[in-house]
Amino acid sequence: MVDHEQELPGTTSEAGRVPDVLHAFTPYGPANASTRARVLRWLDYVAIPAEVHHYTQLPSAPPRALAGAYRDVLTAERCLRRLSTGPLDLVLIHREASLLSRGSTESRLIDAAGMSALDIDDALHLSGSRPGLRRHLLPTAAKTRRLAASVDRVIAGNDYLADWASTIQRDVRVIPTCVDSRDHSLKTNYAVSGPPIIGWIGSAATEIHLASILPALDELHRRTDCKLEVISGPGEDCPFGVPYARRIVWTPAGAHRLANWDVGLMPLPDEPYERGKCAYKFLQYLATGLPAVVSPVGANADIAHRAGALTATSADDWVLALMGLLTMADQDREQMGRQGRAVAADFGYERWAPTWIAAVAGSPRRPS
């Protein structure tokens, strides 16, 4: 639980007036990138009175990991049951509050709230088509639709998610996943000296996307002797069994390592679920000033256009784009880095703070 002691904008400082408290519910702990970027970083930044309730401290929760944390799960369920008796001033549910609920737990929290919001940064309404035992037993898609219709408003990470939410919720606010340049070391050396370092940052669950371009990376390694660094969760020291790849287990300071890379990677398949991604990896690269090659899928496409970044779809595209970046003049790579930082500034917390505060604390629109 994280407590913050500053008044919300719009509350009164009259004697005896207690500012409204925001109760933020997340399925995962601070090691999860979505939890950090969509909830915790906001509360650190705007410092509003809040209590954060993590269902687990895990970065993700496959069934085996969830079973291993059963004591924490029982504690979380008891806490949610207690809180749902209310009253609660403000409720923010990031994705879902309980990993074992079909939506009834969240519905009780919503009913207990003076104002409620659901924050989504993935196409959870399409997750029924994705594999996984928990999704089969506890359908996330149906649950997400139920919650989106029940809350006072939905906060969507991009237009793709907002377009869907608008079909069942009249109050939808688009707030992108933000980055803060202070969390990243700025790249200052754009000379490619020695074997180039190609990098990817993400989670174990999304490493499959990186694996999809291994043929292109193998060819790049053959031509340049490049090294691949993968910042992710624990796993094989050499991801995918590739001898030129090295795993670096993520830590809070891990993003600073991006400045040592020559190119950042963000491959994605052009599928309905992935079109809901909020380009967080890409934005981290841009905030660092790191040139990148990305798949033009979802939010990536618009951001890449604005940043002048290279995009790729086929294996040949990836090889050509990566070779093009590595062989261009140093000053051209540096110019690309400067342009990327300017775009990343548009996704800064300061830029979006008034919108976020209004979304989590503003009065809901009521049907006329």
Q: Which residues partner with 164 through β-bridges?
A: none
Give the pLDDT of residue 365.
Answer: 62
Of 296, 297, 276, 292, nearest to 344 (Cα)?
Answer: 292
Q: The tokens of 141 are what?
A: 């898609």
The whole-number pLDDT of residue 62 equals 80
Percent of the chain residues past pLDDT 70, beyond the cut: 91
Residues 6+ positions from 293 with CB-CB distance below 8 Å: 263, 264, 265, 266, 309, 310, 311, 312, 318, 321, 322, 325
Q: What is the distance between the alpha carbons of residues 80 and 84, in angstroms, rounded to a whole number?
A: 6
The CATH architecture to which 181-345 belongs is 3-Layer(aba) Sandwich (3.40)
Amino acid at 337: G
pTM of the model: 0.90
Q: Which CATH number applies to 22-178+349-361? A: 3.40.50.2000
Please answer whether residues 22 and 49 qualify as being in contact, where contact means their C-beta atoms are separated by less than 8 angstroms. yes
Domain limits, the chain:
22-178+349-361, 181-345
Beta bridge partners of 311: 294
- Quick one: pLDDT at residue 69? 86
pLDDT digits (tens, 9 = 90+) for 150-159: 999 999 999 9
Q: Do domains 22-178+349-361 and 181-345 have the same CATH topology?
A: yes
d(CA 298, CA 279): 8
Given a cut of 50, is residue 95 above it in pLDDT?
Answer: yes
Least confident of 126-135, 161-170, 252-261: 126-135
d(C-alpha 144, C-alpha 97), whole Å: 11
Whole-number pLDDT of residue 211: 96
Among 237, 88, 65, residue whose Cα is nearest residue 151:
88
Q: Are 46 and 353 in contact (CB under 8 A)?
A: yes
End-to-end Cα distance, the chain: 37
Which residues on adjacent β-strands are paired with residue 117? 92, 153
Q: What share of the chain is helix, strand, coil (3-state, %, to 5)?
A: 45, 15, 40
Residue 87 buriedness (CB in 10 A; 0-12 / 13-18 / 19+): exposed
